Structure 1
Amino acid sequence: MATWDEKIKDFEQFLKFERNFSENTVDAYLRDIKKLKDYAELDLEKTGPLIITYEHIQEYLFQLSKKKFSERTQARWVSSIKSFFKYLVEDEAREDNPATLLEGPKLGLYLPDTLSFEDVVRIINVINTSTDLGKRNECMIEVLYGCGLRVSELIDLKISNINFKESYLKVEGKGDKSRFVPLAKFTSDLVKEYIQNVRSKNKINKRHEDIVFLNSRGTAMSRVIVFIIIKELTQKAGISKRISPHTFRHSFATHLLQNGADLRYIQEMLGHSSITTTEIYTHLKNEELRDVILNYHPRNKSE
């Protein structure tokens, strides 16, 4: 009888090589399925992936739902489980799919937190730019915000992919898709300054010679460190929103839209394969529009 570990390994290969999912996406799927595996082995007396039933999975999700996880997280579990069992059926490991009838929680429209331009400036202004570390952090946040990068794209950014003459970055995004992002003169000058005067002082690890942003050991930075830096700066700036590296990307897109940029252009800049993903920003704009109408429309003003 096939074990969870065997089938999870097969599923991993399928996601990587047939679906071409990024490492981060694959990790998220596998984490979710491993949680189900732990439940099946501990609470269901070692029930394997080929005999687990719809009722078992329902009970598992019910137990999890009592632990106050967000609806978005619960929806992701359902999505991962559905993908896993769909794969097992397609692979002819199972004849039936116990996840077909699973339903995730109904999600409202997910509107990401965004920063106003003033908030972005406030965060950058609390950086101590008299130190090399501060100069690097300032440059990182300006690139995150000014180019709308994902954190994985920021930490993988290569010097050889920056064209200072033509003012653009080549970004290697999700699923090995590349895109070109314009580089504003302000951001370009900062990056040049950082590479020439700060990064050049580092003892650089051979394997990371082309990586733009380096840590004190001369190697590429981790996602976690970027997250921690941003969290500390946000607290220092007195901003109470939950800010992550992705917030700068959302803010970049929202500010472009507010200033009249075409949605298709924003889609290109963000590297979204579907315009539907980009359309979320029109909802942000509509929310703002509603607030403006409620606050400033003469019919809403009390006498």
Structure 2
Amino acid sequence: MAQITTLPGSGWILLQQGFTEWLQLLNYSPLSIPGMHQALQEFIKYLLAENKTTLAQLEATDATAYIAQLRQATGKRTGRPLSGSHINKHIQVLKLFSKYLRETGKSTVGFALQRVEETRSKPQYLTKTEINALYDAVSNSVLGIRDQAMLAVFYGCGLRLNEGASLELKDIITDRKILHVRKGKHYKERLVPMAEKSYQAIIFYINYARPQLLQAGPTERVFIDANRGRPMQKQSLYIRIKALVKRAKIKKKVGAHSLRHSIATHLLQSGMKLERIQQFLGHSSLDSTQIYTHLKNEQP
């Protein structure tokens, strides 16, 4: 290891690059790898500030102290304490980095980190009347047809923003009317059934509107940007949904994830069992789905 740490921090940079390549080899989502790369970079900055310039100086207590520092920190923009979700993402990356070091024989250091408790607020969702208003706000244009498909994916199928942005043509299993979600949270795959209305909206978009939007050559991604003819990124999808909410004159502060909350709430209100909703949403634990039980008896 000495040959790659001749300059302060240079060894850490190479390890960071190796970690990123390791994640790619393990087929982690390209959408999540940059964030994990950045999280490790923040840890490395902390180590350098502690005058730890080589891997040989790394100790298990460094990770513990770093997380403790994060728990005392505040966000630069908000001025508020960092959320449990934000801290847990750093814990996840540190655990993966420790695994990378051990599996590649670079170090035997292991980080005994426990996830912090996440304070969950009541999820914002739309009533069925508001969902109908959202659909009514869709135009008959090519972009309107794309909007219908977006609503089918994010509301009808309950996909997360990352999952919808990663969706490819091969993921739409037409003979079974199923979406194959390959880029799920924590890199888990799942199969999501499509209701007839959602299925028809997605197929109509793919067969009619999508070919008109393609300008930058063939791509497997489902959603195409109207201006450049390239695959839509998460931010573009989010902005489009927010514009649709505004056009529908819905006053709630909602986005793409609110559509996922909405379908989960509506399924529960219609009598679907919590375990089936858990599978539909791709939750790894039933605890994540339990939050919707607080909304079951509210006005649909």
What TM-score comes out, normalization by structure 2 length? 0.75
* Aligned counterparts of 2:67 and 2:180: Cα–Cα separation in 1: 42
Q: Which of the residues 267, 292, 295 maps onto 1:284? A: 292
* Pair 1:26-2:33 in alignment: yes
What aligned pairs does 1:141-156 form with structure 2 within 5 A after superposition? 141-156=151-166
What aligned pairs does 1:154-173 form with structure 2 within 5 A after superposition? 154-159=164-169, 161-162=171-172, 166-173=176-183
Q: Which of the residues 251, 259, 264 maps onto 2:270? A: 259
Q: Deviations over 1:185-233 (max 9, x none)?
A: 222333344344433433444332x543211232221111111222333
Cα gap change, 1:201/1:75 in structure 2, threshold over 3 Å: closer, same or farther?
A: closer
Q: Deviations over 1:109-128 (max 9, x none)?
A: 5764433323333334444x
What aligned pairs does 1:155-234 form with structure 2 within 5 A after superposition? 155-159=165-169, 161-162=171-172, 166-174=176-184, 179-208=190-219, 210-216=220-226, 217-234=228-245
User: 2:8: which partner in 1?
Assistant: none
* Aligned counterparts of 1:194 and 1:82: Cα–Cα separation in 2: 42
What aligned pairs does 1:36-47 form with structure 2 within 5 A after superposition? 36-41=43-48, 43-45=49-51, 47=53
User: 1:131: which partner in 2?
Assistant: 141
Q: Which of the residues 237, 240, 248 maps onto 2:252? A: 240
User: 2:73: which partner in 1?
Assistant: 66
Cα gap change, 1:158/1:228 in structure 2, threshold over 3 Å: closer, same or farther?
A: same
Cα gap change, 1:231/1:51 in structure 2, threshold over 3 Å: closer, same or farther?
A: farther
Cα gap change, 1:92/1:193 in structure 2, threshold over 3 Å: closer, same or farther?
A: closer
Matched residue type, 2:13:
D
Q: Would the aligned equivalents of 1:153 and 1:173 in 2 still touch at CA under 8 Å?
A: yes
State the 1:36 CA deviation.
1.4
Q: Would the aligned equivalents of 1:111 and 1:280 in 2 still touch at CA under 8 Å?
A: no
Q: Which of the residues 131, 142, 147 maps onto 1:120? A: 131
* Pair 1:94-2:107 in alignment: yes
* Aligned counterparts of 2:73 and 2:191: Cα–Cα separation in 1: 45
Cα gap change, 1:76/1:154 in structure 2, threshold over 3 Å: closer, same or farther?
A: closer
State the 1:146 CA deviation.
0.7
SS of the residue 1:206 aligns to = coil
Count of aligned positions: 281
* Aligned counterparts of 2:257 and 2:276: Cα–Cα separation in 1: 19
* Aligned counterparts of 1:92 and 1:178: Cα–Cα separation in 2: 30
Q: Indicate the structure (1 or 2) with the bigger Cα radius of gyration.
A: 1
